[in-house]
Structure formats: C-alpha cells, structure tokens
Amino acid sequence: MKAAPEREVDRSVSQTVKAQLALRDQILSGALRPGERISELQAVETTGASRTPVRMALVRLEEEGLLEAIPSGGFMVKAFSERDISDSIELRGTLEGLAARFAAERGVSARELEPLKECLAAIDELLRQVPISIESFSSYVALNARFHALLTELSRSPPLVRQIDRASALPFASPSGFVMAQSALPEAQQILIIGQEHHRVVIDAIENREGARAEAVMREHARLAVRNLRLALRNRTHLDLLPALALIKTATD
Amino acid sequence: MKAAPEREVDRSVSQTVKAQLALRDQILSGALRPGERISELQAVETTGASRTPVRMALVRLEEEGLLEAIPSGGFMVKAFSERDISDSIELRGTLEGLAARFAAERGVSARELEPLKECLAAIDELLRQVPISIESFSSYVALNARFHALLTELSRSPPLVRQIDRASALPFASPSGFVMAQSALPEAQQILIIGQEHHRVVIDAIENREGARAEAVMREHARLAVRNLRLALRNRTHLDLLPALALIKTATD
DNA sequence: CTTTCCTATATTGTATACATAACGCATACA
DNA sequence: TGTATGCGTTATGTATACAATATAGGAAAG
C-alpha cells in the first residue's frame, strides 16, 4: 500500500496543459519578472503538476517565445525591447495582410463574411457610447480578437493561420494586446474608430476580390497600432491595467 | 546494486537535442510516413535516449510543425498538401520581404553587406559552369541558405528572425528546400539565374535604402519559387533525391 | 583585505516505475 | 453471421528517484 497522495489531481484537463496555462498566467500577470530564472520546483508547487508536465509546459512556452533557455540549463522569462514589440505588431500585420490577400484572391462566399460583419456591427454598437466603460471595453477586446481570428481563417491556409497564431502569442503582438494598451489613453476612442474603418475596408476589399487593397489596409492597421503602442508607452499610466507591460524592458532597466 | 546500464550515453550533447535531431531526420528522410503514429518506445529504441528526452523532442517537433498531436494521445507525422507548401513558401517570402524592408529602412553599413556580396559572387562562380554538377549544386544550396540567413539578420529584428526561422522549419518552405526541388528539372539553370538577379536587386535596394523595392523583389522571388515547386511536383522525377517530398500528400493518397 | 579554491547544496537532466486510458481481439448472444 | 460487450494488452500520461553539474558560500593563503 502506498501513502495517500497529498496532491489532488484535476483529471479534467491534462497536467501539462494546466501547468502551461498557469505558468503563462504567472508570466503575463507579472508574478514572474522578466530575466528571472524559473525554478522547476517552484513551478511544481504553484501549478500543482509534477516535474515532467511542468518541463513539457516550459518547453512549449519557450517555443512560444515567452521563455528563453539559459545555456547552463533551465529557463528564464524573456524580456522584450520596445522595438521587439513594435516589430512583432508590424510582423503580425504583414501576416494578416497576406491572409486578407489570400481571402480576397481565393474568393469568399457572402455566407462566410456574415460573422465578420456581425462582429463589425457589434463593435459599432459598443463604440456608440462615449466614453467607453471598462466593461464594454473588455467586450470590445474580445470582439476585436474574434474579428481578427475570423479574418485569418478566411485565408483558408493552415500554415498561415498557424504562423499568425504564433505571432500573436507574444503579448502586445496580438490584437487584443495592443488594443488594451490603448485603453488608458484619451486618444483611444478616435483610434478605435479608425480601426473600425480599416475593418470595414478590408471586408469590402475581400468582397470585391481586391487582394492588394485588402493587404494594404491590414498593414496600415498594424502601423496604426505601432504608433499607438509608442504613445501608450510614453505615458505609462496603465501599468496597473496591463501588468504584462512589465515584460518590456525600458532604458532604465 | 543496480544492473549495469546497457545503454551507452553520449554526454557531448544533451539527450533531448540528440533525440530531436534523430527524429527530425527520420521524418525528413521518409523513414516515418506522414500520418503514421510515432511510438514513443520505438523512438526510444532508435534514438538511444530515454522516454523523457524523447517526449521533450516530440513536443518541440510538434511546435516546429513537423508533428501533429493526436487527440487521444501521442503524435503523428504531419502531412502537407501541395497548397500548404506553396503557401508556406509565399509566407516565407513575405517575411523575408519585411526583413529586406527593415534592412533598407533602418540602414545597413557597407561592411555588413560585404558577406552578402561575397555569397552572391560565389554563387555566380558556381553558375558559370553549365550544366551544374550535383556536387556544386549542393554547395549552391548551402550558399543560398547562407545568403537568405544573412539577409534575414540585416533586419536587426529578433522577433522577425525568429519567425522566419520557424517558417523555414517546414520542408520546402526553406530556401534550400525549394531550391533542391528545382534541381532535377531542366529549367533549373534558368531559374537559378533569375534568382541571382533577385538577389542582386535586393542588395541594391537595401544599399539605396529603397524599402518598398527591397520588399517587392523578395516577394517576387518567393512567387518564382512557388511556380517552380508546382513544376517540380508535376514531374516527380526527383523523389529519390528528396525523400521529404513524401510528406506532401497527393490526390491519390 | 582580497582573491582563489574547495566543498556543500540546490537545481537541472535523465531514467524508470506506476497508473490509467485506449485499442484490439475474442467470445457469446441475438 | 453480425454485433456488442468484456477482458487483456499496449501505449501514453504522470510521478519520482537518481545522477551530474552549476552556483554560492566559506575558508585559507597571498
């Protein structure tokens, strides 16, 4: 007879997934500072999983780009420069531009565009109230992420979708990420409206099968987001709203 | 006293890396067919590593895109459609286009362009002999890969470099991959020369800080490669040269 | 007082044992 | 004869034990 296990296991999801989610949350919430070495034993304690699934999760997070392997062994939380983030946003916009081009060139039925338009309308509805409340802003973030995900899917290109997912793994490279960065700024309202205009144009371009125009507007969309992130980083008034900002190493670090 | 271990361990590289390289080789060499489930125990036998490093390697290969997780557990070798591959090439070209644009816009010193030009000249030298021998063709592949890697680095953008590396992990999405696909074709010679012309243009554009032109030529470069892959797949005369072609599922599969 | 070396401790890399779930096969019943 | 169910085997998911290395701290010597 073995000793009764102290650890209570949640069998509904795999331990590996549980550990991965828990660790990612710890990183993005700022509980683990960038540059900090992640102790496996500590991760075992906090996640409740055993060392093997924890290690698998660490490997996945490294591939995701949130962790960095230490040559002597183990992993540390990755730190990003401001340019890293803006490059990531531009990169994502470029990929989404390609997705939009694929969608336009390959043709999309009206039925497939329907969910996109619903998203668009729902966001329009949200933006009608000025100023936007915190609650409706979080719905905006969700709707915006959904719009981008749907748009990506329209490309019908699994490799591209996969790559865009990877590019979105980095905080702030994802649409919800940079949108959130804008939230605390007074200019946010205007920016969101311009973003909606971009969304409208890309749908129109896809409908009319204008690949180049669809691509161009998504890249412009990303450039808007980059300018915006810069602005958001200048006045760091929203660090409490978005702890993941701590991942960005500033000049003082 | 424990039994003497039969397994002889190679301590020069980590078991995880060894297993990853061995498994990738097995996949790309065609020893493991696409769709085939990878048995961990079998992998333990063939790689010489234990189950833990083998599992780590499997996770990494899944993130790399060569394996696919089976819902019920375990991994299988991923199969790619012809469109998956051509999309991957176009995707890579788009990313390299962005890299070239970054390089041009951010400025590159003459000293940094030197290795690129050396590469270019070396390839020119190789292409002088007609027809190209198999040996010099493999040097061409290496030089071409080096050129693309150097070009990527010029962007000075770690996130972009990382993403391009990821995109190159898929067979045939890498420059050496699609170049090899061309090797068995009679048109190869002409294509290589056009490719050199693209290389020349991109260097010139970067020197003159013409970001848009630099980007455009890299995307054109990728489109050439796509047309070429299609051609190569039509006459499947080179399956023996490039076993990884088996990863592409045809209509008959 | 500083520097270097040695030792001890802690943490990672690896191996293996155990538990659980899935798949297949055989048998029985309809 | 076909289908369904149950059992057995096999493989994966998880946990833990063991080994090796890196790091930090202390002691000794210059």
**pLDDT by 10s per residue, chain B, length 253:** 333 333 334 456 889 999 999 999 999 888 888 888 999 999 999 999 999 999 999 999 999 999 999 998 899 999 999 899 899 999 999 999 999 999 999 999 999 999 999 999 999 998 887 666 767 777 888 899 999 999 999 999 999 999 999 999 887 778 777 666 665 556 777 888 899 999 999 999 999 999 999 999 999 999 988 887 887 777 665 556 666 777 777 654 4
| Strands lying side by side in the sheet with A67-69 | A37-38, A75-77, A67-69
Q: To the nearest 5 percent, what fractions of chain B are helix, strand and coil?
A: 65, 5, 30
What phi, psi does B92 have (nearest 5°)?
-65, -40
CA atoms within 13 A on the CB side of B204: 9
Tokens of A79: 């730190």
| Protein-to-nucleotide distance from the CA of B5 to the C1' of C15, whole angstroms | 10
- The answer, yes or no, to whether residue A130 has pLDDT greater than 70, is no
DSSP 8-state class, residue A241:
T
Q: Which of A167-181, A214-228, B30-44 shows the lowest mean pLDDT across its residues?
A: A167-181
pLDDT at A59: 94
Q: Do B163 and A163 touch (CB under 8 A)?
A: yes
pLDDT at A140: 84
Residues in chain B: 253
pLDDT at B182: 60
Tokens of A159: 């490799």
Pairing of strands A75-77, A67-69: antiparallel
Residues linked to residue B80 through DSSP beta bridges, in sequence order: B248
Which residues of B lie inside 8 Å of A (Cβ-Cβ)? 52, 55-56, 59-60, 63-65, 83-84, 87-88, 90-91, 94-95, 98, 102, 157-160, 162-163, 166-167, 170, 173
pLDDT at A146: 94
pLDDT at B181: 60
DSSP 8-state class, residue A114:
H
Q: Do A87 and B167 touch (CB under 8 A)?
A: no
Please choose, from the candidates A93, A83, A106, A112, the residue with its C-alpha nearest in 3D space to the C-alpha of residue A155: A106
Please name the residues in contact with A138: beta carbons below 8 A apart, sequence gap of 6 or more.
none
What number of other Cβ atoms are within 10 A of residue A4's Cβ? Answer: 5
Q: Which of residues 51-90 of A touch strand D (CB under 7 A)?
A: 51-53, 56, 72-73
Pairing of strands B75-77, B67-69: antiparallel
Of A242 and B22, the one with more pLDDT: B22
Q: Do B167 and A163 touch (CB under 8 A)?
A: yes
From residue A251, give the alpha-carbon distance in Å to each of A27, A83, A140, A248, B146: 21, 12, 32, 10, 34
pLDDT at B214: 98
Please choose, from the candidates B29, B32, B28, the residue with its C-alpha nearest in 3D space to the C-alpha of residue B42: B32
Q: Which helix (H) or strand (E) holds A222?
A: helix A211-234
Domains of chain B: 15-77 (1.10.10.10), 82-247 (1.20.120.530)
pLDDT at B250: 65
From residue A200, give the alpha-carbon distance in Å to each of A147, A180, A221, B118: 11, 21, 11, 47
Q: Do B95 and A90 touch (CB under 8 A)?
A: no
Q: What is the pLDDT of residues B169-222, one digit of tens each?
A: 887 778 777 666 665 556 777 888 899 999 999 999 999 999 999 999 999 999
Nearest-angstrom CA–CA distance, B46 and B39: 11
Give chain A positions within 8 Å (CB) of B65: 159, 162
pLDDT at B228: 79
DSSP A6-44: SSPP-TTS-HHHHHHHHHHHHHHTTSS-TTPEEPHHHHH
Q: Do B94 and A98 touch (CB under 8 A)?
A: yes
Nearest-angstrom CA–CA distance, A148 and A150: 5
Span A77-99, average pLDDT: 94
pLDDT at A8: 40
Q: Cβ of B14 < 7 Å from strand D?
A: no
Q: Do A60 and B63 touch (CB under 8 A)?
A: yes
Of A147 and A176, the one with more pLDDT: A147
Determine the 3-state secondary structure of B250 from DSSP: coil
Give chain B positions within 8 Å (CB) of A247: none
- The answer, yes or no, to whether residue A73 has pLDDT greater than 60, is yes
Residue type, A91: L
Scanning every residue of chain A, which has its alpha carbon at the shortest distance from the alpha carbon of B164? A163
By the 10 Å C-beta count (0-12 exposed, 13-18 middle, 19+ buried), B130 is classed as exposed
Task: Let me know: does B66 contact B73? Beta carbons within 8 Å.
Answer: no
User: Which nucleotides on chain C have any atom < 7 A from a protein Cβ?
Assistant: 11-17, 19, 21-23
From the list A52, A60, A98, the residue facing B52 with the nearest CB is A52
Pairing of strands A37-38, A67-69: unpaired
Q: Which of A67-71, A192-196, B120-124 shows the lowest mean pLDDT across its residues?
A: A192-196
Scanning every residue of chain A, which has its alpha carbon at the shortest distance from the alpha carbon of B66? A159
- Minimum-distance nucleotide, CA of A70 to C1': C12
Task: Let me know: does B106 contact B98? Beta carbons within 8 Å.
Answer: no
Give chain B positions within 8 Å (CB) of A167: 163
The residue assigned the tokens 């995109």 is B167
Q: Cβ of A50 < 7 Å from strand D?
A: yes
Please name the residues in contact with A74: beta carbons below 8 A apart, sequence gap of 6 or more.
A37, A38, A39, A40
Provide, rounded to the nearest whole percent, the portion of chain A with pLDDT above 70: 84
What ipTM is given for this predicted complex?
A: 0.88
Residue nearest to nucleotide D18 (CA to C1'): B2
pLDDT at A3: 33
Sign of torsion over alpha carbons B40, B43, B45, B50: negative
Span A182-206, average pLDDT: 83
Q: Do B87 and A94 touch (CB under 8 A)?
A: no
Helices (H) and strands (E) in chain A, counts: 10, 3
Residue type, B224: L
Of A34 and A244, the one with more pLDDT: A34
